[in-house]
Amino acid sequence: MQRSAPAPGPLLSIGIDIGGTKVAAGLVDRRGRILRTLRRDTPGHDAVQVEEVITELVQELSRGRWAVPVGIGAAGWMDLDGGTVLFSPHLAWRNEPLRERLEERLRRRVHVANDADAAAWAEWRFGAGRGEPRLVCVTLGTGIGGGMVNDGRLERGRHGVAGEFGHAIIVPGGHRCECGNRGCWEQYASGNALGRDARELAAAQSPMAREILQAVGGDPDRVTGALVTELALRGDAQCRELVADVGEWLGLGLANLAAALDPGTFVIGGGLSAAGDLLLEPAVRTFHRNLTGRGFRPAARIRLAELGPEAGLVGAADLARVAARRNPFRGRIPVRRGMLKPR
């Protein structure tokens, strides 16, 4: 029996990226190009108000486009079918049936994804990971997020919560992490870690922190990882050293991931990736120095992400578009391991 060709799917989709301080939305075409964007402040920790903001953004972006699917990217753990947010650190979502609630509000299909998974998908489809059959994306921001694409499929693990690379314990008994453990990777290779180390220098009134203190008016509490990155890019020697330290921790963690996952490419994204080669060069050196079987095995490439802060939005939109094409006549869109593979 001859099978009919699969439905081509919608030309446009809407992506929503929910962060701790802002909700970003965009109308995205099938090539990953953002045609229009909107932003709103995240309304505190009130989940219902966040749903109202999402509804407003979608309605504004989809005027005259009733069938446009919607993808949501948010920090947190999603169940395997993408319908329920098991836990979100930014909002009071605990076993929240977010997809059902939003589909009732919006009267259209909705796809929900972890924000790091969405960013990894975007980089694989349209960015630095194009054409890579085994991609691991590491997002360096406040902490460390991660996502994996294997043979064109998001790898989410048995329970949907794979990719929490930042909470691998890399220094037993080390810095206390917000997760409750000590020595997590993100306590050494993240924007928070960079800011913490710089604040310690500034609070000690170290002469090496002179430029840092001048930039914050002498108040160490105002030092952030973003500021240190900016000063490093301007040429401040101490800030460059601090960024290089983070790069070394990054390379060590990547070597551990390579031993377990053996990807072809690592893509490094998130706000800290703005440091560019100041971060990447020490990371690559440390990675090769600590890689298991170095000299006797192929080594993964390590690349900076290409899509910047819009990656999560673009990825969420594309995941929704792909899911709508795979299930053109169903209101619910199951997202099981090994299902999503674009054409």
pLDDT at 306: 97
Higher-pLDDT residue of 326 and 131 is: 131
Q: Is residue 286 part of a domain?
A: yes
* Mean pLDDT within 50-79: 88
* Mean pLDDT within 2-9: 42
Find all residues with CB under 8 Å of 192, minimum gap 6, and list them: 142, 143, 186, 225
CATH of the domain at 112: 3.30.420.40
- Among 37-41, 70-74, 77-81, 267-271, the minimum mean pLDDT is found in 77-81
Q: What percent of the chain has pLDDT over 90?
A: 71
* Mean pLDDT within 329-336: 41
Q: Is residue 1 part of a domain?
A: no
pLDDT at 92: 77
pLDDT at 300: 97
Q: Is residue 185 part of a domain?
A: yes
**Residue 162 shares a structural domain with residue 298:** yes
**Residue 54 shares a structural domain with residue 69:** yes
Q: How confident is the model at residue 333 (pLDDT cuts 50, 70, 90)?
A: very low
**Residue 80 shares a structural domain with residue 204:** no
Picking from 215, 181, 170, the residue whose alpha carbon sits closest to that of residue 195 is 215
**Residue 319 shares a structural domain with residue 199:** no
pLDDT at 336: 37
Phi first, then psi: give them for residue 235, nearest 5 degrees.
Answer: 110, 5
Q: Which domain does 300 fall in, by range?
A: 132-306
* Mean pLDDT within 295-305: 96
**Residue 112 shares a structural domain with residue 181:** no
Q: Where are the alpha helices (DSSP H) in the chain?
A: 47-61, 98-106, 115-126, 191-203, 210-215, 225-234, 237-261, 277-290, 311-326
Cβ atoms of 45 and 59 closer than 8 Å: no
Q: Is residue 331 part of a domain?
A: no
Q: How confident is the model at residue 290 (pLDDT cuts 50, 70, 90)?
A: very high
Q: Is residue 248 part of a domain?
A: yes
Q: How confident is the model at residue 329 (pLDDT cuts 50, 70, 90)?
A: very low
Q: How confident is the model at residue 42 (pLDDT cuts 50, 70, 90)?
A: confident
* Mean pLDDT within 69-76: 91
pLDDT at 332 over 90: no
pLDDT at 245 over 70: yes
* Mean pLDDT within 262-288: 97
Q: Is residue 246 part of a domain?
A: yes
Q: Is residue 106 part of a domain?
A: yes
Q: How confident is the model at residue 335 (pLDDT cuts 50, 70, 90)?
A: very low
DSSP string, 88-125: -SSS--EEE-HHHHHHHHHSS-EEEEEHHHHHHHHHHH
**Residue 202 shares a structural domain with residue 314:** no
**Residue 140 shares a structural domain with residue 199:** yes
pLDDT at 7 over 50: no
- Rounded to 5°, the CA angle 160-166-172 comes to 120
**Residue 219 shares a structural domain with residue 283:** yes
Q: How many domains does the chain have?
A: 2
* Mean pLDDT within 153-164: 90
Query: Model pTM?
Result: 0.88
